[in-house]
Amino acid sequence: MGAAAAVAAAVAIAGCGTQGTSATPSLVLDFTPNAIHTGIYEAIAHGAKLNLIVPGESTDAISLLVGHRVTFAILDIHDLAIADAQGKDLVGVMAIVERPLASVIAAPQYPSPKDLTHGALIGVTGDPSDLAVLHSIVRGAGGNPAHLHTIVIGYNAVPDLLDGRVAAATAFWNDEGVQIAAAKPGFHIFRVEDYGAPAYPELVLSTTATEIRQHPQTVRTLVHELVAGYVDVLKDPTAGEHALLSRVSGLNAQQVEAQLQGELPAFIPPGGGEPGALVPSTLNAWAVWEGKFGIVTKRPDIATMFNSSFLPTQK
């Protein structure tokens, strides 16, 4: 589904059956609805007015933002860095998750990332951040990334791992990791945070600098509503699961529960506090790591990439 089709297919789930008026903000999710989005659906259950757009295979959230065809998008922090390096003037205003979700999943015979340097075939999606994550994990385990052998497999990590077509693959520990653990125990999940990467926020609620200048109250309102939604999920995860499952058909309730149980600690910022925080020290550490592993050609400028002024005051 192309970007235009994705916008046309936007689902207004805040109590009405059509896309709604231009005054209702729109949000492109980073992926199909899953447990990571429970705080968003919890906010909607409590009255937040928001048109959610589920991305298709060819949906380009950054282009939709830059073209002012949507108000917000959940972006991977690496994609936000690339957009910033290209001068697209996007701004992260809230962390959706406060920890990296990136990992490498390896077959049982590879108990350490270092073991992957001995001829193992490793699947990568082809996303720019994949090799950075893989190299960081292997180097953090004492291995030499120059000795790795990779193949682009797209987003087929789970079937390719289970069928033995690859020995390891870059994937998200909260999604593919949960699927692998349920299907066949024994696989190893190496989280990038455990091998030298800082505890950066993987997913960031983003908008344009223009939207911030012209409609600051829209930004503030949504940020406050989503923070409250994730606070509620932390207090009552079952309610968050229900908010998601009651509005999205076809989800596996057991898988959602398993995903959410693993993700709950990732909603809390380093050092504690309410969800959504953009911690300067964490972002600075991430920027150094981002430049070191070549995702962008120079260190990201967190002063222009992020704006934490719309977040609720920490108690």
Residue 291 burial (CB count, 10 A): 15
- For the segment 18-44, the average pLDDT, to the nearest whole number, is 85
Supply 265's token pair: 């600690």
Q: Are residues 163 and 111 in the same domain?
A: yes
Q: Are residues 236 and 184 in the same domain?
A: no
Q: Are residues 212 and 268 in the same domain?
A: yes
Q: Are residues 84 and 165 in the same domain?
A: no
Q: Is residue 43 part of a domain?
A: yes
- Could you give the CA distance from residue 301 to residue 315 in angstroms, rounded to a whole number? 28
Residue 190's beta-bridge partner residues?
Answer: 104
Last residue of a domain, one of 172, 195, 218: 195
Q: Are residues 23 and 92 in the same domain?
A: yes
Residue 314: per-residue pLDDT? 55
Count: domains in the chain: 2
Residue 149's beta-bridge partner residues?
Answer: 121
Domain limits for position 266: 3-99+200-305
Last residue of a domain, one of 195, 229, 260: 195
Q: Is residue 315 part of a domain?
A: no
**Averaged pLDDT of the chain:** 91
The pTM of this model reads: 0.90
User: The tokens 């309610």 sit on which residue?
Assistant: 239
Q: Is residue 311 part of a domain?
A: no
Q: Is residue 314 part of a domain?
A: no
Q: Is residue 290 part of a domain?
A: yes
- Could you give the CA distance from residue 124 to residue 151 in angstroms, rounded to a whole number? 6
Q: Are the C-beta atoms of residues 176 and 105 closer than 8 Å to each other?
A: yes
Q: Are the C-beta atoms of residues 106 and 187 closer than 8 Å to each other?
A: yes
101 or 18: which leads in pLDDT: 101
CA distances from 171 to 118, 178, 190 (A): 20, 11, 10
Q: What is the CATH number of the domain that holds 151?
A: 3.40.190.10
pLDDT digits (tens, 9 = 90+) for 98-156: 999 999 999 999 999 999 999 999 999 998 899 999 999 999 999 999 999 999 999 99
Q: Are residues 244 and 95 in the same domain?
A: yes
Strands (E), the chain: 11-12, 26-28, 51-53, 72-76, 90-97, 102-106, 121-124, 149-152, 168-172, 188-191, 203-208
Q: Is residue 165 part of a domain?
A: yes
Q: Is residue 162 part of a domain?
A: yes
First to last CA, the chain: 43
Q: Are residues 115 and 152 in the same domain?
A: yes
Q: Are residues 85 and 127 in the same domain?
A: no
Q: Are residues 121 and 153 in the same domain?
A: yes
Q: Are the C-beta atoms of residues 262 and 173 closer than 8 Å to each other?
A: yes
pLDDT digits (tens, 9 = 90+) for 180-224: 999 999 999 999 999 989 999 999 999 999 999 999 999 999 999
Q: Are residues 64 and 175 in the same domain?
A: no
Last residue of a domain, one of 160, 195, 230: 195
Q: Are residues 212 and 271 in the same domain?
A: yes
Q: Are residues 213 and 299 in the same domain?
A: yes
